[in-house]
Structure 1
Amino acid sequence: MTDDPRRLVPRTDALLAEPPVAAAALRLGRDLVKAAVQAAQQRVRDGELPPDGVVDAVLASLPQRPSSLRPVLNATGVVVHTNLGRAPLSAAAVEAVVAAAGTTDVELDLATGRRGPRGEGALAAVREAVPAAEAALVVNNCAAALALVATALGQGRELVLARGELVEIGDGFRIPDLLVATGARLREVGTTNRVTLDDYRDALHEETGAVLKVHPSNFVVRGFTRAVPVAELAVALAGSGVPLVADIGSGLLRPHPALPDEPDLQTTLTAGADLVLASGDKLLGGPQAGLVLGRADLVKRLRRHPLYRAFRVDKTTLAALEATLRGPQPPVLRMLAADAAGLRARAEALAARLAAEGVDAAAVASGARVGGGGAPEQPLPSAALALPATFAEPLRLGTPPVVGYLADDRTLLDLRSLPPSDDDALAAAVLDVARRCT
């Protein structure tokens, strides 16, 4: 029958040959585009789509990129937001990742044509950024760094750790569970709220593999408390042969005026820690990585351990880390340094711009946070764009998604966690929601 809708469905090969569809297949992959073509053809069969609308329907259904990850505007006020990928990379780091994505000399000495040291440029950049470190090692996150240290120094031996530092961090991850899984035995000292130097001294014996200090990061214990700082522990352990390992977590390279109580790599090593562990994608502002810095003999021991091979990072991480350390100030540090008055001026300008378009918008004071377990009690004065509460969900589901938060029956879009270069995109997203929802 001539009116059979199946006869009206354009052929698959003809649709795939259409120039815009063929271009999409080159960019996204033929299988993904073919699936979109077949879905559109079925809509024609079902009478939902006219035959001449198939190409437009295919193109409209395709994602912008083959990855399911979507760029998001972070208006939460949380500078290092774990659910949003933690530290955004600098332009220099992004450029370095793109350059390293192809064939590189990651483990080749071009001068000799022989195998060379892996990631030497990134390791040199780490050492230059933290002069107190004799040597450095990079693994795929801070948990991997801790697991490598516990295995190499504590397997079959005891790791001495204060009870108040047996912490749980995000997604139910518990530090003691990781340490025990490596084959180390834990020697807990002190109480939940108090530990003394004598507690550590009394725990040392011939089976002690290391003394470990873990920064609580995402919580604070107040009141009747006592902790032993790294400097005191280092003096007490001098000459014992027992390494002092400090996991500081957030990856701050040096003291920062906005975060006076946050431990940093340079100061912790100078205070006497033999090894310091930290994350690369938090306050350092780089890619996900675990940094191990400190005594050359201990770092060499870790590098030679068989487990290191399972934890080492790829070429793109090495490239991004080096570019972060050698390049211009990364976004995280610019966000921390943002002036509260400047943030208020941005919020007022955006509010006026949106109000002129009929949007119920206002600039309000807000309180931002570091996030990522860093400086949990350190306030960051900020400013936000206040919108109706009904805007929160459509903003989050828009293109690009805008993630803010609800407070006092308003949607707040905090500007400390959003670079000024994104203000136009933020305003466009809000205007789009206003047009669709009013």
Structure 2
Amino acid sequence: MEIKKELLRSIPKVDEVLAQPQVKKAMEEGRSQVTDGVRQVLDALREQILRGEEPDLTLEGVSRAVLQQVEENSRMSLRPVINGTGIVLHTNLGRAVMCREAAQAAMDVAENYNTLEYDCEKGRRGSRYSHVEDLICRLTGAEAALVVNNNAAAVMLVLGTMAKNKQLIVSRGELVEIGGSFRVPEIMEQSNSTLLEVGTTNKTHPSDYENAIGPDTAAFLKVHTSNYKIMGFTEEVSVEELVEMGKRHDLPVIYDLGSGALVDLAQFGIESEPTVQQAMAAGADVTSFSGDKLLGGPQAGIIIGKKKYVDAMKKNPLTRALRIDKLTLAALEATLRIYLEPDEIARKIPTYRMLSMSMDELRSKGGRLLRRLKKVPGLSCALSQEEGQVGGGSVPTQMLPTWAVAMEHESVTVDQMESRLRSCRIPVIGRISKDRLLLDMRTVQEEYFGYIAQCLLEVTGGAQ
């Protein structure tokens, strides 16, 4: 107890810490931040002592802790990270990395007044959706288009417009959970439509839909199970079959496509992922999909289909609550314009640039990182052939062959190394496999190789 009292009395006073040269210099950039940092550090020292610890109470040690605390306090909470997981569309890490053109477009409208809802040609108010509607229709072949803030919102708006207080028929095997515990039935409930499940988990027949049609039926709903697959003894009703059935009974078909690819992924070795154009060709009356998955753009929910249905959605009061802002519109327009030049897609859109990388390219890239890491004392690293994922609830059954840099350290455990890299100014996010820390070359940007090497020097104690 006496030792604790003595240590508590030894904690430097606030004024003593503020008088230290490095702390005084930091005060010139932000007095309140530094003062707050000093108090936080001193409070933490008291807690450490009361727990029986003996922290560094020298003015030099406390000053270093204060400067570190000030730096942590000044960091943006939402900030860039280096993705070494090999998951191209990592939902927790922001899904699709946008192209430079999209980022620049968003910055341009953020820093200036803009034409969000102004028609320069007519000199009067315009529609925010006009900036992307023609582009989307041109790329997909749709009659009309509308964009809201994500695909869950798109589904809710579609159902709330086309099936409010009515019934929707959907296969039991397509009642997906889309992430964050949000489920299709719950979205339907919020849209004031009634769900009628047909078929079984693994098998649904055309007759299941046809036998369920009643006086309150508003539409057939088809949900692309983009985040899981049922394998084995299965059967589902295609969009084409539903469309034909819908024509016989004068019922529209709504297709929640989800992932929303505008290009055929077979060219990247990825099979069985329908494109938006295929959904349109199949005859769906309304289709919705995400902007930040396989489209490679910003978060958005894109609705395409027959003009009479889309026009009705534009008049729905819910549209205003779900509308996207100027930054999203600018980024989406810039992304869509790249699709007008098919030869540019794999070069300019990061999602497809990563998906199109060959094993030779990935191995060569990994070799360049290995050379950078040679200066880290005690670090053992080698190239390892691994598997990554598309991610973002897309193509769940197909793994992507890849090369990763696998690391171990003679005195720092893999868990410690992984944790410390996450605490860097720009966090480095890897994955642990077979007691090694992996950085997948498909998702690590080469411009960060030098930074990664410096971080590893610091977190393993090798920095001078």
Normalised to the residue count of structure 1, the TM-score between the two structures is: 0.88
Counterpart CA distance in 2 for 1:184 and 1:43 is: 55
- Give the drift of 1:6: 7.0
In the TM superposition, residue 211 of structure 1 has moved relative to its aligned partner by 0.7
1:220 partner letter: K
User: Where do 5+ consecutive residues of structure 1 fail to align?
Assistant: 26-32
Q: Which residue type is aligned with residue 440 of structure 2?
A: D
The alpha-carbon deviation at position 392 of structure 1 amounts to 1.5
> How many angstroms does 1:68 deviate by?
1.2
Superposed displacement of residue 149, structure 1? 1.0
Q: 2:363 corresponds to which residue?
A: 344
Match runs of 1:275-290 below 5 Å: 275-290=286-301
Match for residue 84 of structure 1?
93
How far apart in 2 are the matches of 1:331 and 1:197?
A: 40
The residue aligned with 1:37 is 35
Change (3 A) 1:106 1:55: farther
Shift of 1:193: 0.7
SS at match of 2:449: helix
Distance (Å, rounded) in 2 between the aligned partners of 1:379 and 1:285: 19
Aligned counterparts of 1:422 and 1:253: Cα–Cα separation in 2: 30
Residue in 1 aligned with 2:219?
Answer: 210
Deviations 1:315-336, CA, capped at 9 Å, x for gaps: 0000011111114631111111
Match of 2:154 among 145, 150, 162: 145
Residue 128 in structure 1 maps to residue 150 in structure 2: no
The within-5 A match list for 1:146-225 is 146-225=155-234
Q: Does 1:264 align with 2:275?
A: yes
Equivalence for 1:295: 306
Inter-partner Cα distance in structure 2 for 1:398 and 1:300: 49
Q: Which runs of 5+ in 2 are unaligned?
A: 1-11, 46-55, 339-343, 409-413
Q: Is the 8 A contact 2:41 2:65 kept in 1?
A: no
Counterpart pick for 2:450 among 424, 427, 430:
424
Matches within 5 A, 1:209-248: 209-248=218-257
Q: Does structure 1 residue 325 correspond to structure 2 residue 336?
A: yes
CA shift for structure 1 position 56 = 11
Shift of 1:170: 1.8
CA distance in 1, matches of 2:323, 2:72: 32
Q: Which amino acid aligns with 2:311?
A: K
The structural deviation recorded for 1:95 is: 0.7
Residues 26 and 34, structure 2, Cα contact 8 Å, conserved in 1: no
Matched letter for residue 336 of structure 1: L
CA distance in 1 between counterparts of 2:208 and 2:264 reads 29
Query: In the TM superposition, what whole-angstrom CA distance separates every residue of 1:69-100 from its partner, at most 9, and x where no partner exists?
Result: 12110000100001111111111111111111
Q: How many residues align?
A: 421
Superposed displacement of residue 393, structure 1: 1.5
Q: Aligned pair 1:117/2:138, yes or no? A: no
CA RMSD of superposed structures (Å): 2.9
Deviation at 1:39, TM superposition (A): 3.5
Residue 114 and residue 207 in structure 1: after superposition, are their counterparts in 2 closer, same or farther (change >3 A)?
Answer: same
| Counterpart mapping for 1:376-415 below 5 A | 376-388=396-408, 389-390=414-415, 391-415=417-441
Deviation at 1:126, TM superposition (A): 2.0
CA contact (8 A) 1:351 1:362 kept: yes
Q: Compare 347-356 and 33-42 and name the one that shifted more.
A: 33-42
Cα distance in 1, alignment partners of residues 40 and 299 from structure 2: 43
Shift of 1:262: 0.8
Output one character per residue of 1:102-134: Cα deviation in whole Å (capped at 9) or x when no partner. 42110011233311111322222222322x211
Does structure 1 conserve the Cα–Cα contact (< 8 Å) formed by 2:259 and 2:290? yes
- CA offsets per residue over residues 236-283 of structure 1, 9 Å max, x none? 212533111111111211321232211211111111111111111111
Q: 1:218 is matched by which residue type in structure 2?
A: N
Distance in 2 (alpha carbons) for counterparts of 1:164 and 1:312:
31
Question: Match for 1:253 among 257, 262, 282?
Answer: 262
1:10 Cα deviation from its structure 2 partner: 5.9
Read off the aligned partner of 2:303 and give its amino acid letter. V
- Kindly provide the CA deviation profile for residues 361-411 of structure 1, in whole angstroms up to 9, marking residues without a partner as x: 000001010111100011211010101224222112222211111111111
- 2:324 maps to 1:305: no
The AA in structure 2 aligned to 1:129 is L
- Contact 1:194-1:227 within 8 A present in 2 as well: yes
Distance 2:361 2:252 in 1: 46
Larger displacement relative to structure 2 (101-110 or 142-151): 101-110
41-50 vs 141-150, which moves further: 41-50
What one-letter code is carried by the residue in structure 2 that aligns with 1:145?
A
1:367 to 373, 384, 387: 387
Q: Partner of 1:29 in structure 2?
A: none
Q: 1:363 to 1:122 in 2, by over 3 A?
A: same
Cα 1:395–1:252, aligned 2, differ >3 Å: closer, same or farther?
A: same
Give the C-alpha shift of residue 354 in structure 1: 1.7
